[in-house]
Amino acid sequence: MSTRAWPTTIGWGLFCSASWTWCIGMFLPFILLEQFGWPGFLAFLIPNVVGCALFGYLLTPARQQFVRDRCGALCLWFSLATLLYQAFFAGWMIEPVGAIAVIICGLALGRFLGDSGWLRLAVLVTIASALTIDWTLLPALWDIPVTGTKPADSLLSLVPAIALGFLACPYLDLTFHRALERSPSRHAFLVFGLVFAATLLGVATFWESARACPRFGTALTLLWGCQLSFTIGAHAREGWTDTRLRSRQILVVWVLLVGLALGWLTRTNPTAWWGSGQETYLRLLVLYGLVFPYLLLLRLRGIPNWLITITILASLPFFEMGFMQNRTDTLFVPIGLLLVLLATSMVKTAWKDRSHP
């Protein structure tokens, strides 16, 4: 790779890091630190960084085209769900005026910026995010205990679901596909891995071990605002440029408004039937631990949609028990079901190939 290509490669790496720093990376670490201590954070960090970095190195142009052919519409729904999730989080955790500003800013970015503008913005957002973090607190991370409020064996049962989500979901992220196509080098995903890992460690510095809760304040809110606006803009752009989606501009806006309204509902009435903000946050997380990974893996194997639907619906109660009732041992049931379906499909394919050499 020529020296002239390095700035663009780094730019796309920073773009991926900023577009992937969702409300998951900026809040789920706090939940895992509370429940499982350092091991919980590492169980989140490692598959997250590794899964996304591998996307850039494993996906050849032929494989990328195969994914887009089999799961192109699913990639679009992934972006729409991601928009809803970010808007929900903004409505839940940020004051209403600030949340509205985040949405408007994201929409404006998605509407008016081209590739070069996004690369410049990625540099600015990375710098701005770094400035919100008190890096002198990094040594304090050693004070975080290795245990939390939940039994350690609960984490062992949770790890497969976490790993599955972070290893599979990058293949549905249209911003990653764009970066892979436009970057002059796959090393953009190495840059991504390094910067994103540093960002997650920076998020962890907001955790106060003595009080067992995050240090909420202006700095954390600014970090959320910067990253949410970037992610919303990047995925709104993908939705708006997808010609398969009719009335795509209106749909993107409506998805954001629904997410924002859901966040406000959980903020103003946390005891209602739909659950508190954190309960809703975790239930939406099931989209990325169950729904999208299963759809991706099973569609790539050519498994019929009716069977995929039944599998996901049958798995939902186990994820509800695992995520909401701390019965994480139940998560082995849907994971096992997925493995059985994939193994059966592979055996059938191998048998068919042998029968028709």
- Distance between CA 311 and CA 210 in Å, rounded? 43
pLDDT in tens, 75-99: 999 999 999 999 999 999 999 999 9
Alpha carbon 78 to its chain's center: 10
The arithmetic mean of pLDDT across residues 46-68, rounded, is 92
- Distance between CA 114 and CA 128 in Å, rounded? 21
pLDDT in tens, 102-147: 999 999 999 889 999 999 999 999 999 999 998 888 888 888 888 8
pLDDT in tens, 276-313: 888 899 999 999 999 999 999 999 988 999 999 999 99
Q: Which residues contact 110 (CB under 8 A, 6 or more apart)?
A: 232, 233, 234, 235, 236, 237, 239, 240, 252
Reduce the DSSP state of residue 217 to 3 states and report it. Answer: coil
Say if CB 230 and CB 100 are below 8 A apart.
no
